[in-house]
């Protein structure tokens, strides 16, 4: 086996060993074809696996400490490096796709305009959607919150005597705590998306809206599968793991009483639901059982099929840097002998629609491009946010669910603005992050010490004489204090980096000496 640390010509020294092209036979499918996806071209790393860092500690509504969890993620360098590079690879693939489309920026503007139009006429389009879906024999339900969604789905399952449910990935059901609720009422749920299944088996939330187990190394997956489906704990070959999972899950899929999907787009003029996947698992979930339930956030509505074309061109290019998802499935009505139910869920969305500075966050199509590009997210892992939605979009959505619990999240950003630029529906994400900081201060969700420090800073910076004295004192301190006093553990600047070298004099005093006294 070649070592993971050689500087492969096709990899480059900056690349994590897991991401470099591989020369041994494990990179080929059993029929000899070369595999050309991210996992296919990676290889096992080592014998002693680095344990997977876990996400943020969550205690009720106490503020989630993202920085603490991020620090633990960074303290696991193999995980952090793989995570950063894998997501950066998605960002680069997205850029390549973007450059292949001359009208890319027009598409983004169009997508944004369609979403803004729809959101400002949401009541009309929802009613149109309901009427058209009903005309095709779909049962349409309305849920005002997560609890009502879960009760409605439970009721439908109960009407059919269903005890097992297969489902495709849905962030809305994550929002609703759906699997935990189903477990509490004795219904077995099987996730059919591979990444989501890994997360379900590990009893862990998805860390990313599109690639839910992206924070795990293959050795982490091997450990989960060894524990839950009985694979060889020493074997982390990706084909072995994927095939073992398929063999373990496929019988459950075939025997399931009911199927559930999320919804990427709900088309008002046709009353149809469109689901985009790469594994075909939504089609299995929807089509194998005789009962299909689709959970739909009310912001997923778009007016027409023509509009769908705009979003389909943007979605997978933004998400994974591929031109289109493998499957774009339209669900218009039940097959003969089966039932189809659509559950339209609000769960805070209409309140969000009323927030002047934040309502456009509802344009989000959950592509995850903002996460892939976010330098903080790539180095923190999605579970560090302790919320359903992580990364930049999470920073502006999560506080609408619980301002206190997620009061620290808008500070987990450098405000660099890359998220805004990659967003296919042009949400001004970094400006909303900034606006949330102001909002949280207004709502008194900031620690007292920070409040006091900022008040003191404001007073100092508005008094030139006091400010002059403070600058001189800072320079003098850095010039004369011994190193152990400056790097004292309380100085957050100096824990992992050197402090600036104090100059002989400030600019102010240089100017006085060299440009004279007159103002």
Partner 1 sequence: MRIGLFIPCYIDAFFPEVGVATLELLERLGQEVDYPRDQTCCGQPMANSGFNAECADTEALFVRNFAGFDYVVSPSGSCVHHVRDNFDAIEQTAEVTAVRTRTYELVEFLHDVLKVEAFPWARFPHRVGLHNSCGTLRRLKHATPSELHEPFYSKPLDLLAKVEGIELVTPARPDECCGFGGTFSVFEEVVSTKMGYDKVADHAHAGAEYIVSADSSCLMHQQGCAERIGVPIKFIHIAQILNGASA
Give kind and range of the element (H or E) at residue 331: strand 327-331
Q: State the Cα–Cα distance between residues 302 and 175, nearest whole angstrom.
A: 21
For partner 1, give the closer residue by CB, 50 or 95: 95
For partner 1, the binding residue among 78, 80, 191, 398 (CB under 8 A) is 80
Q: State the Cα–Cα distance between residues 222 and 470, nearest whole angstrom.
A: 56
Is 498 near partner 1 (CB under 8 A)?
yes
For partner 1, give the closer residue by CB, 240 or 434: 434
Beta bridge partners of 140: 342
Give yes or no for a contact between 310 and 277, defined as CB atoms under 8 angstroms apart: no
For partner 1, give the closer residue by CB, 292 or 405: 405
- Over the window 3 to 22, marking each residue x when it contacts partner 1 by CB under 8 A and - when it does not, the resulting string is ---------xxx--------
Is 316 near partner 1 (CB under 8 A)?
no
- Over the window 365 to 404, marking each residue x when it contacts partner 1 by CB under 8 A and - when it does not, the resulting string is --------x-xx--xx------------------------
For partner 1, give the closer residue by CB, 199 or 318: 318
Span from 25-33, 226-234, 259-267, 439-447 in contact with partner 1 (CB under 8 A): 439-447
Is 507 near partner 1 (CB under 8 A)?
yes
Span from 121-129, 185-193, 355-363, 503-511 in contact with partner 1 (CB under 8 A): 503-511
Residue 215: CB minimum distance to partner 1, A: 15
Q: State the Cα–Cα distance between residues 336 and 333, nearest whole angstrom.
A: 9
Q: State the Cα–Cα distance between residues 242 and 282, nearest whole angstrom.
A: 18
Is 101 near partner 1 (CB under 8 A)?
yes
Those residues with Cβ within 8 angstroms of residue 323's Cβ, 6 or more apart along the chain or in another chain = 97, 316, 317
Q: State the Cα–Cα distance between residues 58 and 187, nearest whole angstrom.
A: 26
Number of residues that bind partner 1 (CB under 8 A): 80
Q: State the Cα–Cα distance between residues 106 and 373, nearest whole angstrom.
A: 21
- Over the window 59 to 78, marking each residue x when it contacts partner 1 by CB under 8 A and - when it does not, the resulting string is -------xx--xx--x----
For partner 1, give the closer residue by CB, 47 or 462: 462
**CA distance to 149, 191, 403, 404, per residue, from 177 (Å):** 10, 14, 19, 19
Span from 127-135, 164-172, 247-255, 496-504 in contact with partner 1 (CB under 8 A): 496-504
| Phi-psi region at 58: left, alpha or beta (left = phi > 0; alpha = psi -120 to 50) | beta
Q: State the Cα–Cα distance between residues 360 and 429, nearest whole angstrom.
A: 9
For partner 1, give the closer residue by CB, 163 or 463: 463
Residue 456: CB minimum distance to partner 1, A: 9
Residue 214: CB minimum distance to partner 1, A: 17
For partner 1, give the closer residue by CB, 336 or 504: 504
Span from 49-57, 124-132, 278-286, 458-466 in contact with partner 1 (CB under 8 A): 458-466
Task: Name which of residues 461 to 490 contact partner 1 (CB under 8 A).
Answer: 461-464, 467, 471, 474-475
Give yes or no for a contact between 392 and 410, defined as CB atoms under 8 angstroms apart: no
Closest CA to 14 of 23, 5, 1, 3: 5
Q: State the Cα–Cα distance between residues 319 and 363, nearest whole angstrom.
A: 15
Is 492 near partner 1 (CB under 8 A)?
yes
Closest CA to 223 of 381, 49, 98, 8: 49
Is 99 near partner 1 (CB under 8 A)?
yes
Is 501 near partner 1 (CB under 8 A)?
yes
Q: State the Cα–Cα distance between residues 393 and 370, nearest whole angstrom.
A: 7
Is 57 near partner 1 (CB under 8 A)?
no
State residue 79 phi and psi, 5-degree precision: -70, -45
Is 142 near partner 1 (CB under 8 A)?
no
Is 447 near partner 1 (CB under 8 A)?
no
- Over the window 419 to 438, marking each residue x when it contacts partner 1 by CB under 8 A and - when it does not, the resulting string is -xxx-----------x-xxx
Is 95 near partner 1 (CB under 8 A)?
yes
Question: Rg of the chain over CA atoms, in angstroms?
Answer: 26
């Amino acid at each position: 086996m070649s070592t993971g640390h050689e500087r492969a010509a096709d990899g480059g020294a900056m690349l994590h060993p897991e991401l470099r092209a591989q020369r041994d036979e494990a990179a080929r499918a059993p029929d000899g074809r070369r595999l050309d996806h991210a996992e296919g071209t990676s290889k096992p790393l080592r014998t002693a696996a680095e344990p997977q860092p876990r996400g943020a500690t969550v205690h009720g509504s106490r503020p989630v400490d993202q920085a603490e969890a991020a620090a633990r993620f960074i303290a696991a360098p193999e995980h952090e490096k793989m995570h950063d590079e894998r997501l950066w690879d998605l960002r680069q693939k997205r850029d390549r796709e973007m450059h292949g489309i001359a009208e890319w920026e027009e598409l983004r503007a169009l997508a944004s305009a369609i979403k803004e139009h729809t959101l400002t006429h949401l009541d009309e389009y929802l009613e149109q959607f309901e009427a058209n879906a009903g005309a095709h024999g779909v049962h349409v339900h309305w849920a005002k919150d997560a609890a009502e969604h879960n009760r409605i789905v439970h009721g439908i399952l109960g009407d059919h005597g269903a005890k097992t449910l297969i489902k495709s990935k849905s962030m809305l059901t994550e929002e609703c705590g759906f699997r935990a609720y189903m477990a509490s009422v004795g219904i077995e749920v099987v996730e059919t998306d591979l990444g989501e299944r890994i997360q379900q088996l590990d009893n862990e939330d998805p860390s990313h809206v599109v690639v839910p187990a992206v924070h795990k190394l293959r050795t982490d997956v091997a450990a989960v599968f060894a524990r839950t489906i009985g694979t060889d704990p020493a074997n982390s070959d990706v084909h072995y793991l994927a095939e073992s999972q398929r063999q373990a899950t496929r019988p459950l899929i075939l025997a399931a009483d009911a199927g559930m999907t999320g919804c990427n787009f709900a088309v008002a003029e046709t009353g149809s639901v469109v689901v985009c996947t790469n594994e075909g698992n939504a089609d299995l979930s929807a089509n194998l059982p005789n009962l299909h339930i689709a959970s739909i956030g009310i912001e997923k509505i778009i007016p027409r099929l023509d509009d769908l074309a705009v979003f389909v061109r943007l979605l997978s290019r933004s998400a994974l840097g591929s031109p289109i998802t493998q499957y774009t499935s339209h669900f218009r009505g039940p097959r003969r002998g089966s039932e189809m139910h659509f559950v339209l869920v609000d769960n805070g969305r209409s309140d969000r629609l009323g927030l002047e500075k934040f309502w456009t966050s509802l344009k989000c199509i959950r592509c995850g491009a903002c996460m892939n590009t976010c330098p903080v997210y790539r180095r923190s892992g999605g579970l560090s946010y302790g919320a359903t939605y992580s990364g930049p979009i999470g920073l502006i959505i999560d506080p609408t669910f619980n301002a206190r619990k997620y009061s620290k999240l808008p500070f987990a950003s450098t405000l660099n603005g890359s998220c805004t630029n990659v967003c296919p529906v042009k949400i001004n994400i970094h400006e909303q992050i900034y606006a949330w900081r102001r909002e949280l201060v207004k709502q008194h969700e900031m620690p007292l010490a920070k409040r006091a420090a900022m008040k003191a800073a404001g007073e100092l910076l508005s008094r030139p004489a006091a400010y002059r004295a403070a600058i001189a004192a800072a320079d003098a301190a850095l010039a004369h204090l011994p190193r152990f006093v400056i790097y004292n553990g309380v100085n957050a600047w100096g824990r992992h980096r050197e402090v600036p070298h104090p100059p002989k004099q400030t600019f102010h005093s240089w100017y006085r000496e060299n440009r004279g006294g007159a103002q």
